[in-house]
A and B are shown apart, each in its own frame.
Chain A
Amino acid sequence: MMIFRQSVKLISTELKLFRREPEALFFTFILPVFFLFLTMEVFIPGEAPKAIVINYVAPSLMVLIIAGTTIYSVPQTIVHYRKIKFLKRLKGSPVTPVTILGSLALSDFIVTVLGIALLAVTAVLVYDASLAGSLLSFLAGFVLAFLSLAAIFLFIPAVARSPRAASAIGMFIYFPVMFFSGVFIPLDMLPDWIVRYISPYLPVTHAVELMQGLWQGIPLLDLTREVLILLGILCLGLVIAARTFRWE
């Protein structure tokens, strides 16, 4: 019960703090919806069937939100809280490390869910997007994508000493990943060598494949390969984080 009470308070406080950060609000809620309109209205040629295209664009923009949270928000929060010794102060109270980090991750997860919900509603209402697969397996895929990306990018707070360094590393990862993982540009429009030698080695690529597949109604069983890769990334990330994570 103690752990439950601690987690609820940590999460609700974290969400309150998030609400007071205009920047974070912009990246999670406004930017993805803006990209949705931009892609649909500007980048997609007029004759393309929007009702079909939207079912590629919406799930990949959802991965954009997950990537933003896991590459930027989570590492930023951890590095900042470590720098001001807030993490250490929390550790000095009767709360387990897993509760502290789990609560921080869960509050970022909740924010991501809200961002994705807003994007999904916009895509459905404005562009007639429709989830062809089952909602349950789509949600399961989303949770898996979030967890494995969150875990693998936990190496950022291990290497970055300052929030500024974390942000620089995030930037360095974020942009190439966005262009080579099929988030902005579909993989089949990219040069062959990128698709063959770069994309498969980027974790985000597999999150995009999984989310797009599940959205378009491909059964989870046919996506086993992506699921296994993401599970592998999750385990790898957790092992690295457990070995390199620093509280101060």
Chain B
Amino acid sequence: MVKTVIVVRDLIKRYGDLVAVDGVSFEVYENEIFGIVGPNGAGKTTTVECLEGLRIPSGGFIRVLDLEPKADGYKLRQLIGIQLQEGKFPDRIKAREALELFAALYSRSLPAGPLLEKVGLLDKADGYFDNLSGGQKQRLSIALALVNDPQVVFFDELTTGLDPQARRAMWGMVSSTREAGKTVILVTHFMEEAERLCDRVAIVDRGRIVALDTPANLIRSIDGGLRISFSVDDSSVVAQLENIDRCRLAVSNRDIAIQCADGRVVGEVIRILGDNDCNFHDFTVSKPTLEDVFLSITGKEMRE
């Protein structure tokens, strides 16, 4: 039996006339990485800040580790780790000092040294926050989120603004946080990140959850299991390609994209190209991504 660590029912958060979170319900199971994804302004951060007790919901029911974030806030904050979106620290605080400061705020905490080592900052322990790179700052904020050895950790836009290499390093740390037995809530607007890391993903748009499942199931749920794309020198083959069953063809100039449910179509396309002695370039077969899921559900492109 999987243990449920977070229960959210009909969560609503209004700011005046603006409804930031509009009836969100979900559960998070122990030791999973639960993703909350969606475009900027979808209500992701507001939702998790209600769970963290940093915002008071306008309505709905929340339990985190069987605690109500508002009434049992003090107790709850001992048990959760928080990394805030765009959260920073004073310029002149040293990495080790920041960890020691937060360690003193919790009744139970881990020593600074091993934590810094874990996030690869041991050589920067005595460096000022100001002098750390973007990736190092985020690594420190991970260490700070883990300083009380929490059961549930919230990461909010952990990798935004980082270069690909630093982003990949963050991903490793999120995975190892889960391997250490913790439950992770990951808020991101990078679909690729959610797809790679999360066990289950809630896709949020305009304050509502529009889909919730494992990344694989979400991707399987949309039409067009495969996407074939290539360009041709001579577009006379298009007529024959149009005759292939079970697929959608999109042609723009000499670029051709085929959405199909079935891998057999790939062979058929290649056969047609070969039979016509047609010269083609950049032939790629790709699986749809969560990005395509979002597009197919909301009819909108995810914007950065």
Contact = CB atoms under 8 A, between A and B. Distances in A.
Nearest to A248: B54
How big is chain A's contact interface, by range? 20 to 34
B90 A9 contact: no
Interface stretch (A53-61, A78-86, A133-141, A215-223): A78-86
B82 to A, nearest CB: 4
A92 B54 contact: yes
B91 to A, nearest CB: 9
A16 B106 CA distance: 21
Contacts of A86: 87-90
A163 to B, nearest CB: 12
B53 to A, nearest CB: 8
A96 B77 CA distance: 11
A92 B77 contact: yes
Interface residues of B, number: 26
Contacts of B19: none
Nearest to B154: A92
B74 interface: yes
Given A17-B93, A86-B89, A93 B102 contact: yes
Interface in A1-46: 2, 5-6, 8-10, 13, 16-17, 20-21
A20 B97 contact: no
Interface string A152-172: 000000000000000000000
Contacts of A17: 90, 92-93
Contacts of A9: 100-101, 104-105
A119 to B, nearest CB: 26
B104 A94 contact: no
Given A10-B101, A91-B54, A93-B77, A85 B87 contact: yes
Contacts of B253: none
B90 A89 contact: no
Nearest to A92: B82
A6 B103 CA distance: 9
A212 to B, nearest CB: 36
B105 A84 contact: no
Interface string B180-205: 00000000000000000000000000
A68 B102 CA distance: 29
Interface string A59-103: 000000000000000000000110011101111111110000000
Given A9-B101, A88-B54, A94 B78 contact: yes
B105 A85 contact: no
A13 B97 contact: yes
Contacts of A88: 54, 84, 87
Contacts of A20: 92
A5 B82 contact: no
Listed residue (B88, B93, B104, B106) with the most chain A CB atoms within 10 angstroms of its CB: B104
A132 B102 CA distance: 46
7 contacts: A2-B107, A10-B101, A17-B93, A84-B90, A85-B84, A86-B87, A89-B84
Given A5-B104, A84-B89, A96-B74, 9 more contacts: A6-B105, A9-B101, A17-B90, A85-B84, A86-B89, A88-B54, A88-B84, A89-B89, A94-B74
